[in-house]
Amino acid sequence: MTEVWLALLSFVISLAISYWLMNPAARFFTVDQANQRSLHQGVVPQGGGIGIILAILAGGGWIALGAAELSWLALITLALLPVVVVSFLDDRAHISPVLRITIHLLAAVALVAGGLVPVGWQFPGSGEGLSEWAGLGLSLFGLVWMINLYNFMDGMDGFAGGMAVVGFAAFAILGALQGQTTFMQLNLCIAAAAGGFLALNFPPAQIFMGDVGSAPLGALAGAMMLWASHNAIFPLWMGVLIFSPFIADASVTLLRRVMRGERVWEAHHGHYYQRLVRLGWGHRRVVVLEYGLMLACAGSAITAYSWLPEHQWLLLSGWGIAYTLIFIMVHVLEAMNIEDVELT
C-alpha cells in the first residue's frame, strides 16, 4: 500500500506543477519557440521537468523516512542537483556546451567516488571482473553519455516522458523481484513523476520538459543501472536493453555525424525518430510505435532475467538484428520519399 501512495503522490505533484507552469503568470514560465530544427510548430511552454524533479524529491523524501540505504539516496540527490541547476539555467540562457559537460562530468565523478561502479562486465554467463580503472572509466563515460543522450532524444511529444515511465517502471519491477525495496520505490517514484508530466505532454504536447527534465532523467537512468549492477539487482546489460530505444538511436546517430565530420554539439534533426516524423508519420503515430518498442525491450529484459545465458545471448542478438532492420527501414523510406518527390 505504501507504494500506491508513493506513486500517487509523485504523479499528482508532477501533474500539478507542470499544469501550473503552463500559465504565463507562473514564476518560472518559459516557452520553446519553434525553429528550422524543431518538430513542433509555434510556441509551446517548457519547464515541465521542474515538476518531475520536485515530485521525485518529494517522493524520495518519503522513501528516506523508512529507507535502509540512505547513503545511496543522499549520494544520488547531491550529484543530481548540479545537473538540475545547470539544465535549468540552460533552458533560459543557453549555457556553453563546455560548462554543461563539465557539470555532467563532476556529477558522474561524485557518483563513482561514492561507490556506484559496476561489478564485472556482467554479460550473460560472464563472471569476469573489471579492473579498477576499467570500472571507473565505464561508469564515468556511461553516466555522461546517458545524461546527454536523454537530452538529445527529448525532441518529440510524449517521447522522453514515455521512455521514463516504461524504463523506470521496469527497473522498479526488477527491484521488487529481488526484494530491493528502496531501489524499487525510488524507481516507482521516478516513473510516476514522469507519468504526471506525460499526461500533459502526450501529442499534441501542452508543455515540454526542457533540459531541466531530460538531463536529470538521463543521470538517474545511468545511476540506477550502476546501483543495480553494484548490488546485483540485475546485470548492466538488462538496464541498457531496457533503455535501448534511446541508447541505440542516439549512439548510432552520433556515430554517423562524427563520420560525416559534423559538429556533434550543435542541434540537429538527424535522429531516426525525427526522420520518421519528417517523413510525414506524425508525432502520435511515431511515439505510439516507440512505446511499443519500449515495452517490448522492457518486457523481454524482465522475462529474460531467469533464462539460461545462451538464451539471453540469443535475445540480445535478436535485438541487435531488430535495430539494424529498423535503421535500414528508415533509410529505405527516405530514399523512396526522395524518389516520389523527384517524380512529381
- Domains of the chain, by residue range, sit at 2-28+51-343
pLDDT in tens, 7-43: 999 999 999 999 999 988 777 777 766 554 555 556 7
Helix (H, G, I), strand (E, B) or coil at 149: helix
Q: Which residue is it, cell 506513486?
A: 7
Per residue of the chain (344 residues), give pLDDT as tens.
Answer: 588 899 999 999 999 999 999 988 777 777 766 554 555 556 788 889 999 999 999 999 988 887 666 788 899 999 999 999 999 999 988 888 899 999 999 999 999 999 888 876 677 877 666 667 777 888 999 999 999 999 999 989 999 999 999 999 999 999 999 999 999 999 999 999 999 999 999 999 999 999 999 999 999 999 999 999 999 999 999 999 999 999 999 999 999 988 888 877 676 778 899 999 889 888 899 999 999 999 999 999 999 999 999 999 999 999 999 999 999 999 999 988 765 544 44
Instruction: Give the global pTM.
Output: 0.93
Three cell numbers written together for 26? 507562473
Q: CA 277 to CA 153: how far, in whole Å?
A: 13
Q: Which residues of the chain form beta strands (DSSP E)? A: 30-33, 43-46
Q: CA 288 to CA 294: how far, in whole Å?
A: 10
Residue type, 241: L
pLDDT in tens, 103-151: 999 999 999 999 888 876 677 877 666 667 777 888 999 999 999 999 9
Q: How many of the other CB atoms lie within 10 Å of CB of 280? A: 9
Q: CA 157 to CA 284: how far, in whole Å?
A: 8
Query: Running DSSP on this structure, what letter comes out for residue 14?
Result: H
